Amino acid sequence: MSSEHPADGTRDIVSPAASPAGPPLGNPAGNPAGNRSGTPAGESPDSPFRHENESRDSAPQYVLPLVVRIERAEPPLRTDALETAARAVLEILGDERSTGDGEWARAVRDWQDARIRKVVRRARGAEWRKACTLPGITVTGKAAEVRVFPPVPLDGWPRELARLQVSGTDLDDPAPPAPAGPGEPVLWMSPEVEMSAGKAMAQAGHGAQLAWWELSGEQRAAWRAAGYPLAVRTADPARWRALTGGGLPVVRDAGFTEIAPGSCTVVADHPDLPASRRRTA
């Protein structure tokens, strides 16, 4: 899946343990899960909505804006921010406003008909409060806060978001995160590609979206009802080689920023995916 990180109605989402089961889940465009687990380098997969085998680049291009709150005194940990960004992408995909005749449905559909670009910007203080007045969903992790907004045309950013900074979004983990829990969906980050926190947040969002596309409506509903639990971890080199060749969804970056085109950045491992079940049987 080629991708780029350049990352009225408001609903706040908290950590999975406390997240209520939201409104009924829709299956965008009524499409069944298919083989969208990434493609060979240099090839573009079809949109989950597109019925003709045409390039995503021929469609109007949209971007999914995400804003991470980074206060100078208390920035979030890197892994917490990555996991929260991934859950934010899932929240907007599963929101009733993004499906059927919902107010965001057309924008979400047009975005997924093209490249699933995501831009992560950062905000603090008054900038964050102003961003939160725009339609969107705020997702809270352990401490990280990420707000996701409906997709916009590449040159159609709201003024309140366009002025926010993209570069310099860098975060750290003071210690390696604990292993993912049994049966927990994991977005495995590449051990071979160095990325800023903002870039990695967008890539984690891509991985979550690829897993979502592969799941049935019932499986999506169950994931949503649980609050979209997931973990983001960096694979060791041996595991990474097995993951990228194991039939799971793989994110391949388009190479617009930071890394080389075609780089594999994330493998999405959800226990309901057929390839995951084969590995654990």
Q: Tens digit of pLDDT for each residue in 79-127?
A: 999 999 999 999 999 999 999 999 999 999 999 998 899 999 999 999 9
What pLDDT is attached to residue 252?
93
The closest alpha carbon to 181, from 13, 17, 20, belongs to 17
**Mapping DSSP to helix (H, G, I), strand (E, B) and coil, where does residue 12 land?**
strand
Mean pLDDT value of segment 207-224: 97
Q: What's the sign of the alpha-carbon dihedral 227, 230, 82, 46? A: negative
Tens of pLDDT, residue by residue over 14-30, are 444 333 323 333 333 33
Share of residues in the chain with pLDDT > 70 (%)? 78
pLDDT at 140 over 50: yes
**Burial class of residue 38 (count of CB atoms within 10 Å of its CB; 0-12, 13-18, 19+):** buried
Lowest mean pLDDT among 12-16, 24-28, 151-155, 266-270: 24-28
**Mapping DSSP to helix (H, G, I), strand (E, B) and coil, where does residue 266 land?**
strand
CA–CA separation, 7 and 257 (whole Å): 12
What pLDDT is attached to residue 278?
57
What pLDDT is attached to residue 21?
27
Residue keyed to tokens 């609050």: 227
What pLDDT is attached to residue 27?
37
Residue keyed to tokens 């408001």: 10
118 CB neighbour count, 10 Å cutoff = 29
The closest alpha carbon to 3, from 149, 147, 120, 122, belongs to 120
Whole-angstrom Cα Rg for the chain: 17
